[in-house]
Structures are given as structure tokens and as C-alpha cells.
Copies of this chain bind each other. A is one copy, B any other.
């Protein structure tokens, strides 16, 4: 059922129908009445494709998720970020379209849809170095916001949204060090930028006191890896009295291992994590951790994209402040 059908049903022309559709004024009361009745009767709904084609606007923003979906469900921050994105977009009457990339086929298909203009802008989570999606965003200069530093990305027109992991982790360790003298860190061997920055922050906080022996590494961000690393740490340095886990899961694992070895937390050893994920609140004692302003990050990304869509010049980077959540584990 098209505009023409409505016009026929109302005994007028497409022009008038269009006018009442977008409330343009200049329609006689009786024409409006007839048309509104016809719209109701025919159940007319405007065609998105036709409108998008002529308007060159979709009123939609694509959010591209690359995280394996399972992980995305484990980490509650992502959900909160999406909530922020969605409500900021909604405020501007834009639709959030979530596209998930889970295989290499997905990459090319998503690139096709995004390149084809399925949305007016794009928000990406942790993109890889350079793939078809990034390429199409660059070539067509599609308004984009990206979570992370994007140092390796070559998207000059995009806005990068992130928090200062280095500063936050430094602040956290400094606070932990207030009444501890041998604070260890369980970091990750993975190359993720934020992981490196968290370690850098730890190192900065320790300054002269930095001690290689107090650093352990894990390959994955799991509680069991954290526990294993803590075991090694305890063996090498039984005098350790503080532990900073690169993520909450690691800290939770370490906490368990400490308790299994009879250390009291926080009395004997203080434990802190990062991310304020579900883990943090569930451990016993609950974990002190760093909370990123997830909702605000989502909103910031959305607003950056909306601004770019509106033609305003995009800011290169949006740096948001994290917050230390002090609980009983330290």
C-alpha cells in the first residue's frame, strides 16, 4: 500500500497526502480528514527504502560488535554502554542497529550493508587492525565513533572514545599501596592496548619500588588463570601483601587462591581488580575495583556520531574519567 493508494482512496493526489503525512500545513480541513481516514483504512506505512533513497538519510546508526557474543554477555559493561548509546540515539530519533561480527563471512556482509548505507553512521567496538568494514568506513568517510585508542586504525575522521586506563590503574595501585608495601600485579600477555596501559599505570605507581618478581602474567582473562598465577606468586614471594588483577575475573581467581592458602583478605593481603564487572560484587569479600563510566561512554559515542552526521567537525578523542569503587577486599 503506497502513497498513491492512499491518494486514490481519499480522492486526492499524492501531493496532498504527502503534506498531511509530514504535517506540512496548507491542506484544507476536509482534505486532511479524508486523507487521514484513508491512511487508517488502508493501513499505510511509508516505505523505508524509498524514503531513505530520496532523503539520503536512514535515521539509523549501526553499532558493530566484534566480541564473541558469549563474552559480550559475560561482561556487563557492554550492556550498559549499549544502553547509553541507545538512549542518546533515541533522543535524536535515531534507531540503533546492532550488527554482530562472529565470522569472516560476517565481516564482508556487514561491510556490504554498512557501505550500502544501511545506517547514517557507525559505532564500533574493538575493531581489528584493518578489514573490509574499516576500509569502507574510511573510503566513504562514514561518520564513526570507536571505542579504544584506535592507534593502529587510520580513520582520520573518526572519534575515539575511551578512558585513561593508565591513570586509573595508577590511582588504584597508589591507593592500595597506602598501607601495603609489596603489591603485585597479575597482568596479561595479550597485546591489547588497554592491558598494556594498566600495567604501565601499575609500574608508574610503584616507581622506584617496582620489582619484576612481583609481576605475573596470564594468557586469558579467567578466574582459573588468575588463581594459577597467584599460586606462582605465592611460591616466589610469600611476603606479597597486595595484588592488582588486570581484570576482575583475574582478581577473583587470585582472591580464591589466597584464601585457599589461608591468607585473610583484606587483613593479610589486599586484592583489587578492574572493570567493576559482575565478578566484583559477587566475591567474598567483595572486590575493590575500577568502574568505567559505561553509560556515559555509550552516550558520548552516540553524540559524536550524531554530530558528525549533522556535519559538525568531529573531535578526535573523547577521554572519560574512571572511578575507584572501594569495597572490602582491600
Which residues does A use to contact B, with CB under 8 Å? 43, 45-53, 58, 60, 69-70, 72-76, 78-80, 82-83, 86-87, 90, 93, 95-100, 102-103, 105-106, 109-110, 112-113, 115-118, 136, 139-140, 278, 282
Are A110 and B87 neighbours in the complex by a CB distance under 8 Å? Answer: no
- Verify A80–B86 contact, CB threshold 8 A: no
By the criterion CB–CB under 8 Å, are A50 and B53 in contact? yes
Residue of B nearest to A97 (CB): B97
A87 B73 Cβ-Cβ under 8 A: no
Give Cα distance in the complex from A37 to B270, angstroms.
63
A24 CB, nearest partner CB in chain B, Å: 18
A109 to B92, CA, bound (A): 11
* CB <8 Å contact, A48 and B86: no
Contact of A102 among B86, B115, B117 (CB under 8 A): B86
Residues of B within 8 A of A47 (CB): 53, 116-117
Contact of A95 with B117 at beta-carbon distance under 8 Å, contacts A49-B53, A102-B83 already known: no
A105 CB contacts on chain B under 8 angstroms:
90
Decide if A95 touches B99 in the complex (CB within 8 Å): yes
B45, B78, B115, B139: the one contacting A116 at CB < 8 Å is B45
Contact among B58, B86, B99, B100 with A69 in the assembled complex (CB-CB below 8 Å): B86
- Chosen A-B contacts, 24 in total, with CB atoms closer than 8 Å, are A45-B112, A45-B115, A47-B53, A48-B49, A48-B117, A49-B116, A49-B117, A69-B83, A69-B86, A73-B73, A74-B76, A74-B278, A83-B102, A86-B102, A90-B103, A90-B106, A93-B109, A95-B99, A95-B110, A95-B113, A95-B118, A96-B99, A97-B97, A98-B99
